[in-house]
Chain A
Amino acid sequence: MSEHNENNPEETPEVFTDEVVARLEQDAKEVISRYPKPRSALLPLLHLVQSEEGHVSKAGMQFCADQLDLTLAEVKAVATFYTMYRREPGGDYQVGVCTNTLCAVMGGDEIFSALKEHLDVANAETTGDGKVTLEHVECNAACDFAPVVMVNWEFFDNQTPATAKQLVDDLRLGRDVAPTRGPASLCTWKQASRVLAGFDDGRAGEGVQAAGPSLAGLELARRKGWSAPDPADLPIREQGEEGSK
């Protein structure tokens, strides 16, 4: 979006530059080669173009269409169905507060309200410095860590309004921030999108294997001496209706 653009300065380019196309084509070929049929690569390719621009633009969709021999309309129909594809530019850090029932009740609503006020943004809006996009998200499969906040789809478990405000302040100040269950430091939105497209960033080994509630049952079993049955010494079971299984 250059000032020198003769058209509407808000309008984004229709296509990627030759340099971008040349670079992304290599990646796209690799993604497509993983699948028996090329079209299966569409979701990863949309993540890929999102990793380039931070959102899925018309140029990005056109790139996907060209790689897969689809029409722009076919790509757009898919891109607009899935909520992880941003349709407009956003911040480096997408802060998602779970407000599905369990997290909302446990304090997610209070966290979301606190962040809206603290950042002075509404749902799906970005702070003026371009750092943080705030939104409420649906259940992210970490209910035993409620209330949960996701940043660029990494877990920030057991949040409170105070910890969440500290988190967004740190993100805006460029301080190091580490997820509770994730890599040692946070990726940007574009970097995370590239992982989603299927390109490793070599960080799988970072972070804990499990934490807190994930270990609640195992730790209790260890304390109590409980374990699964020994296959060499199974309890005798009544010969009832075994055959009906």
Chain B
Amino acid sequence: MTTLTPILSQNWDRPDSFTIDGYRATGGYDSLRKALAMDPDSIVDLVKQSGLRGRGGAGFPTGMKWGFLPKDNPNPRYLVVNADESEPGTCKDIPLMLANPHVLVEGVAIASYAIKSNQAFIYVRGEVVHVIRRLRQAVADAYEAGLLGKDILGSGFDLDVVVHAGAGAYICGEETALLDSLEGYRGQPRLKPPFPAVAGLYASPTVVNNVESIASVPGIVANGAEWFTSMGTEKSAGFGFFSLSGHVTNPGQYEAPLGITLRELLDMAGGIREGHQLKFWTPGGSSTPIFTEEHLDTPLDFESVGAAGSMLGTRALQIFDETTCVVRAVGRWISFYAHESCGKCTPCREGNFWMVQVLDRLERGEGTEADIDKLLQICDNLLGRSFCALGDGATSPVMSSIKHFRQEYVDHFEKGGCPFDHSRSTVWADRPTTEEGGNQ
């Protein structure tokens, strides 16, 4: 049986967990001291050995990313933390930065030292004002304590860290769009190559890492690569947040080794809400093809989820029970992708626009069998045909929902409307009527 491994969330039940004193009381910044006594390259090697893979969804090996920075480029190097958490269903980095911003700051300092960068940025989405306050305070307190700034802990290493607030654009979670945004432009993805390691921020060598990836580094430095690989699977080492939301008894953050299953997580979270059954779920956000109950025992690691036809993504487990209309759910996601498409690439901009029209028609019961094929045809013209993965992500819920629930699409136009009572899906649907009486 897999059990939980609270590491980044270990101190979250301390009321002062977000303060520098609270963080130091639980060993905070000891890893930075240890790292500054090491050779930078040996830290890169350590992270490579740990097998840490990017926690922002793509799963690229973090140490390898660090190792890609060219040795002969004379320009300054930058570390940019992607804290633009916006993928629907994903809700791990925000509570982490609210409760424990210093573990991210410590990770930033260690990672910057390892890649020989003297300037780091934390690009956080703008729609979370209190998280931005906490991050800025953590950075200011770390400067005050000599943990950032000039000659950190007497090591001779200098580092400046800027907390930068975005302004509302999902696309800026894509690393090259994020860099354009950080440079003061519209957030539109760049064509790769060149990759950010070669030409990133201000065309300089740049590492872009997710919050949880960077926050995992202090633990690896403190406890070693073998400690990290003692959790998880052969190729998906370590731990991560599994964020359960939706029709589950106890939604929330469950920090566990990669490879845990939804069946195990649901047992821990009290199961599907009482009196209901699992219908479909996303393993890692809306951009990952949906799963059903047949995938309850799929190990949630990069390889197993991929082999089962989806992606581990951000481990954002959105759980929907039998009251949920899959056509409505998918339609809403596609409205999101259409709204958030930056407009640079025609397949994504136009494809999502037209999918919204077709899905709306289907949901209203005014569609036809040809509309279902039309959706698949649009997906075929979208997938793999744009600069970035936003458009690819949009095809995931459409194609997977038609694969698993084609009959439900048909039911809509055969019955001339949505066969579901949406009020039954709400969190208050099964509560005593007095509580919400008079509101509906």
Cβ-defined contact, A138 with B336, below 8 A = yes
Q: Is the CB of B165 within 8 A of A35?
A: no
Q: 1/0 per residue B1-33: CB within 8 Å of A?
A: 001111101101111111100000000000000
Residues of A within 8 A of B250 (CB): 213, 216
Please report which residues of chain A, range 25-75, place their CB below 8 angstroms from some CB of chain B when the two chains form the complex: 34-37, 39-44, 46-47, 68
Query: Are the CB atoms of B165 and A100 closer together than 8 Å?
Result: no
Are A231 and B223 in contact (CB-based, < 8 A)?
A: yes
Q: Which residue of A lies closest to B3 (CB)?
A: A226
A195 close to chain B: CB less than 8 A: yes
Interface: A173 (CB within 8 A) = no
* Contact call B119/A36, Cβ cutoff below 8 A: yes
Chain A residues proximal to chain B, CB less than 8 Å: 34-37, 39-44, 46-47, 68, 77-78, 81-85, 99-102, 104-107, 109-110, 114, 137-147, 150, 152-155, 158, 160-162, 165, 179, 181-183, 187, 192, 195-198, 200-201, 203-205, 207-210, 212-222, 224, 226-229, 231, 234-235, 237, 240-241, 244-245
Q: Does A110 contact B252, Cβ atoms closer than 8 Å? A: no
Residue contact A44 to B130, C-beta cutoff 8 Å = no
Q: Give the chain A neighbours of B440 by CB distance below 8 A.
A: 110, 161
- Flag whether B350 is at the interface (Cβ < 8 A): no
Q: State whether A228 touches B231 (Cβ < 8 A).
A: yes
Is A101 a contact of B333 with CB atoms below 8 Å?
yes
A203 to B131, alpha carbons, bound, how many Å?
11
Q: Are A209 and B88 in contact (CB-based, < 8 A)? A: no
Binds A, one of B107-115, B147-155, B181-189: B181-189
| A114 touching B253, Cβ below 8 Å | no
Residues of B within 8 A of A226 (CB): 3-6
Residue on B with the closest CB to A191?
B129
A83: which B residues are within 8 A, CB to CB? 167-169
B339 in complex: contacting residue of A39, A138, A141, CB < 8 Å: A138
3 smallest beta-carbon distances between A and B, as pairs? A216-B252, A213-B252, A82-B167
Q: Which residues of chain B (124-148) have a CB below 8 Å from chain A?
A: 125-130, 132-134, 136-137, 140
In the complex, which residues of chain B have a beta carbon less than 8 angstroms from the beta carbon of A102?
Answer: 88-89, 245-246, 318
The answer to whether B65 has its CB under 8 Å from any CB of chain A is no
The chain A residue with its CB closest to the CB of B50 is A245
Residue B205 is within 8 A (CB to CB) of chain A in the complex: no
- Residue B89 contacts which of A34, A139, A147 (CB distance < 8 angstroms)? A139
Query: Which of A77, A182, A197 has its CB near the most chain B CB atoms (within 10 A)?
Result: A182
Q: Which residues from chain A contact B99 at a C-beta distance below 8 Å?
A: 209-210, 214
B255 interfacial by beta-carbon distance below 8 Å? yes
Contact of A44 with B231 in the complex, beta carbons under 8 Å: no
Q: Which residues of A contact B169 (CB under 8 A)?
A: 81-83
The closest CB in chain A to the CB of B95 belongs to: A214
Stretch from B235-243, B303-311, B406-414 forming part of the interface with A: B235-243
Whether B269 is near chain A, meaning CB under 8 Å from some CB there, is: yes
A200-B127 contact, Cβ under 8 Å, with A100-B333, A114-B439: no
Task: Determine the distance from Cα of A195 to Cα of B137 in the docked complex, in whole angstroms.
Answer: 12
Query: From residue B138, how far is it (CB to closest CB) to chain A in Å?
Result: 8
Residues of B within 8 A of A104 (CB): 328, 332
Smallest CB–CB gap between A147 and chain B, Å?
A: 7
Do residues B425 and A229 form an inter-chain contact, with CB atoms below 8 A? no
Extra contacts besides A110-B422, A216-B251, A226-B3 (14): CB < 8 Å: A81-B342, A83-B169, A84-B168, A105-B422, A143-B88, A144-B245, A146-B251, A154-B130, A196-B165, A208-B15, A215-B13, A218-B12, A221-B5, A228-B7
Contact status A227-B134, CB under 8 Å: no
B268 proximal to A (CB < 8 A): yes
B18: which A residues are within 8 A, CB to CB? Answer: 204, 209
Residue of A36, A162, A228 most packed against chain B (CB within 10 A): A228
By the criterion CB–CB under 8 Å, are A139 and B427 in contact?
no
Residues of A within 8 A of B181 (CB): 43
Most interface-central of A34, A179, A214 (chain B CB within 10 A): A214
Query: Within the assembled complex, what's the spacing in Å between the Cα atoms of A130 and B82?
Result: 36
Whether, in the assembled complex, B76 has its beta carbon less than 8 Å from a beta carbon of chain A, the answer is yes
B3 near A139 (CB under 8 angstroms)? Answer: no
B293 within 8 A of A: no
Among B76, B231, B254, B428, the residue within 8 A (CB) of A216 is B254
B residues 361-413 near A (Cβ < 8 Å) are none
A122 and B132 CA atoms in complex are apart in Å by 30
Instruction: Determine the distance from Cα of A42 to Cα of B167 in the docked complex, in whole angstroms.
Output: 11
User: Does B57 belong to the interface (CB within 8 Å)?
Assistant: no
Q: How far is the CA of A145 from the CA of B248 in the complex (A)?
A: 12
Q: How far is the CB of B302 from chain A (nearest CB, A)?
A: 13
Per the bound structure, the CA–CA distance linking A99 and B9 in Å amounts to 28
Question: Which residues in A have their C-beta under 8 angstroms from that of B231?
Answer: 228-229
For the complex, is B316 an interface residue (Cβ under 8 Å from A)? yes
Q: Is the CB of A105 within 8 A of B246?
A: yes
B127 pairs with A150, CB closer than 8 A: yes
